[in-house]
Chains A and B, each alone.
Chain A
Amino acid sequence: MKKLVFPVCLLCCVAVLCGCQTRVHEVPLDRAAATTKLEPQDIRRTVEKMVESLLVAPGVKEFVSNRRPVLDVEPMQNRTTQHVDMVSLTESVRMQLLRSGMFRFVDRSSTGTAAIDVARIHQENQLGLVDSTKAVKAGQQTALDMYLTGTLSEIKNVTGRTTDQYYKFSMILKDLKTGEIVWADEQEIRKESTRPAVRW
């Protein structure tokens, strides 16, 4: 029996040491919910749902019938207490709509983009390095037809050990000429977590 003590101790030591190693591995993009906060899979699902809903909306069909309207996507407003990168979410929506081929896009709403465009045109013309006949003149950019915007809001309830978190993404597509809302949709997410009765 005494002969077994050393190998067993050695095995235990190896097991403990293996457990101390930090393990890193890639995981699928769409995992099961781990917290009540907004997670990457929630954002991905919301973007997909909104884009699908917009692409098949009857109002959009009427507008798009014979042309590709020019669209701008404004960063969504974050009305929650969490930090959520709304610009990233907006960019994902724009990217998917752009790939559908139904719309053309301008990038006026991104912070500072319009000012950068003006400064570049001005700089090109001022430096005198470019052929003046080929230089881009200001005032030729494509005009907007529609813009897409939205909000993210939340309701949080804590009852005892249970936290109930509700999120709502709302988006609208507005015709700039008439001011009409061409499309609107919502995506709701509700999560619940319960703290263990005994905490370490």
Chain B
Amino acid sequence: MKIPKHVLAALILTSGLAGLVGCRNTSGTIVNTDHLTGQSAIIEENGRLAHRVNVVKISYDEVNGLKRVHFALASDRNRRTRIDYRICWFDVNGMEIDSQTKPYRNLILEGRDVQTVTGVANSPAAVSSKLRIRETSQAQ
């Protein structure tokens, strides 16, 4: 039996759409900051998120012997943007310190707004930090 071309095309389109719905891009934007040298690197791995949220300022200090970092996040959209972010800390050997104690926090950025998020190291041994941003829809 010969399957008509339009039926075949519909089948391929349907299976393609079904496959795409199942895929969810969970990558995001990463900002690595070395608190000893003051160097920061912004890595944008999700094009859609990179066009919506920008890291516009990075500053850091030390309070009570613990490193602290501030990131100013700016929205490039006119609409509300919901994101999750997480700031984790690493010691001088590059090992992550108590990763489970640093959960993703949520942030609602209004259109064209800039908000500052802050992270405090969970140990005096922390010397570098990593900010990871993802879209809230990725956290389902």
Contacts and interface: CB of A to CB of B under 8 A. Distances in A.
Contact of A100 (B66, B68, B103): B66
Given A3-B1, A99-B98, A99-B122, A60 B64 contact: yes
Interface residues of B, number: 25
A41 B100 CA distance: 12
A48 B102 contact: yes
Contacts of A30: 84, 86, 103-104, 139
Contact of A102 (B1, B64, B100): B64
B103 A41 contact: yes
Interface of B: 1, 63-64, 66, 68, 84, 86, 98, 100-106, 118-120, 122-124, 136-137, 139-140
A145 B66 CA distance: 22
Contacts of A52: 118-120
Interface of A: 1, 3-4, 28-32, 41, 44-45, 47-49, 51-52, 55-56, 60-61, 64, 96, 99-102
Contact of A56 (B64, B98, B137, B140): B64
B46 to A, nearest CB: 17
B66 A56 contact: yes
A32 to B, nearest CB: 4
Contacts of B98: 96, 99
A41 B140 CA distance: 12
A135 B81 CA distance: 63
A41 B139 CA distance: 11
A61 B63 contact: yes
B103 A56 contact: no
A193 B122 CA distance: 34
A55 B137 contact: no
A52 B102 CA distance: 10
Contact of B103 (A48, A55, A101): A48
Candidate in B1, B106, B124 with the most chain A CB atoms within 10 angstroms: B106
Contacts of B136: 32
Nearest to A33: B106
Contacts of A99: 98, 101, 122-123
8 contacts: A1-B1, A3-B1, A30-B139, A41-B104, A45-B106, A48-B101, A49-B105, A52-B119
A99 B124 CA distance: 10
B103 A29 contact: yes
A99 B103 CA distance: 16
